[in-house]
Chain A
């Protein structure tokens, strides 16, 4: 038995024989052909073009049906690249004039194109070279006429092991008897991962060299929950995973039955459960969830991978289509939390020479220094609020003092006044709230609470700042601990202060979707939890099976605890009680 750790890309467990995707021989030596072969080689190239075009057409249609327009547009971009004279004409000229084989001609043309793209200084344009190679690889694989034969050779449900997988390959996996897959490359938010989730195919990516370690026919387990690939598992491991598989299946069918039920504990205490919505990864499955609103819309992604900050119109279009999905429910838009690990491509002075970016110019600090950036985002949000019945809420990231809140309030009023001049007014009053993640804001919350309409605890950063521990530093990462007494006491104090002034508190960090921590958070009397869509039903189910009185008692005991150990054993105990 052999285990490789990767990144979980799509949940679930799949067990079966491995099939290895043959890698296209992409880098070819300058294969030359005889003059007499030129005509047939050009014919071969033409057929591969037609086949690729048909593939892309079919994929575009499938993508439009499963994931919607944005992904489908990626395919139409690929189609334009395929038909681009710089690729097509150049490759044909190489076959004709230099007597290269079709494959060598494509490869050399791609190399030249990539080289000219690399010359462009702008990182945004450089990224497009990946699109070009995607198309080129597909074209080459269609030249090698044995590819169809590979898929046809799969006779039983199998697990695909590949070095890399195109999104467009992913979408036809199920028709080819693939029940799960693993790749050496890829990431959690890659198109391939998102597709796997919507197709409900368990998948693990970023395994670095799995394709070399597995042989055709080996029994393998894809553990999409924990990001593991298990090769030739022993009897016990196999039995354990078969049990997990049955449990997941049972849980899933149960979860569907609770979607329309309220989020209420066994003893009748109501909570609100929202989603952390990401328009880039919205799937049909997510659309079915009946939620209490959008608890956190992160907006940093709008600022990434583009040469200049997004315009008001670009932002407005995304906010509008998002808000429309939530009809009259709350929609919480967080102002861009740029800085720290989210550095955009366009230049901002504040990021130069920043040795300690997590304590540097990020979140609202950056916006106050660049009022134009903030003004554009606020205008885009106000414009949205003038057109939708949803309750638009604006959340300020990285607040440390009440003055910062006042500055944002002034800027918001300015944007509102501009629209008022045009005779436009938000359908509902826009609420302004703060993300509490800086300890100073938590401690001095009583001074700020009168000037904000709501608040949300950003537990990921709050824990990091409270314990003064950098999660990505392996020397201290183990000290990052949601069960530290200081963490629970701070959350408790924030909630109490807010409740005294009639404000609601939500939690939207990872801790909110940690099934084990949920009872503790309920016991501390949080009002709203906001979780990623894939965790929504699991968390709802957890809350529906809890007893609020018990949670409350345990939370009180935890607040008196002097060590993480004590708190952790209280957490474990609460989970065991519920399981039995």
Chain B
């Protein structure tokens, strides 16, 4: 608001192009599911899922930075929003996914059959 009032339409359409392109790539990979990517593991995830997550984060970056106009905000606002969300989400994911994996192991190794 308090910033420049020049029109940004060119950048908006450019970002729309990026987002569409990334989504198209995701969909194509999701349909083909190349075996070389799907069955190659790298730090607990297969390469295909790594690609999906990275592309998702790139899309999220463009939406927040260009569409929500985070790039025009003061860095104090930027940091207080982005860093707290990233930290808390990583924390939550770490706890819940570790626990989920542990329970999977408990079910797998238990002497009682629970779902048959």
Chains A and B are bound partners: no
